Amino acid sequence: MRNQEEQSLKEARRVEKRAAEEAEQLTKDQVRKKAYLAREQAVEEARQEREAKRTEKRAVEEIEQSARDQARKDAYLAREQAIAKAQEARKLKAKKQPPK
């Protein structure tokens, strides 16, 4: 009988130990999962931040390019107007001078 009691006690201890190990493993798994999710969230936030910076940079570059294009168009039109005025001035000057 004593042997059976000892075996029952050993079995109870083994069951308790297994339950404690399972609880410990579950806790470790939860900690690992939280750490993994935190890393994933940090990676995603960094990716979103990089994307936002890229988008902002692209918008600034588009505005700058638009301004350069507009300045180029304005300069072209100014040159064309200057050429047209010079041609008109030459025509008027030619009309005012008596023929030779």
Instruction: Write out pLDDT tens, residues 75-98.
Output: 999 999 999 999 999 988 888 876
**What gap in Å lies between CA 65 and CA 59, rounded to an integer?**
10
Digit-coded pLDDT (tens) for 20-62: 999 999 999 999 999 999 999 999 999 999 999 999 999 999 9
pLDDT in tens, 4-17: 888 888 888 999 99
Q: Kindly indicate the confidence band of residue 69, based on its pLDDT and cuts at 50, 70 and 90.
A: very high
Tokens of 15: 């069951």
Domain boundaries, the chain: 1-100
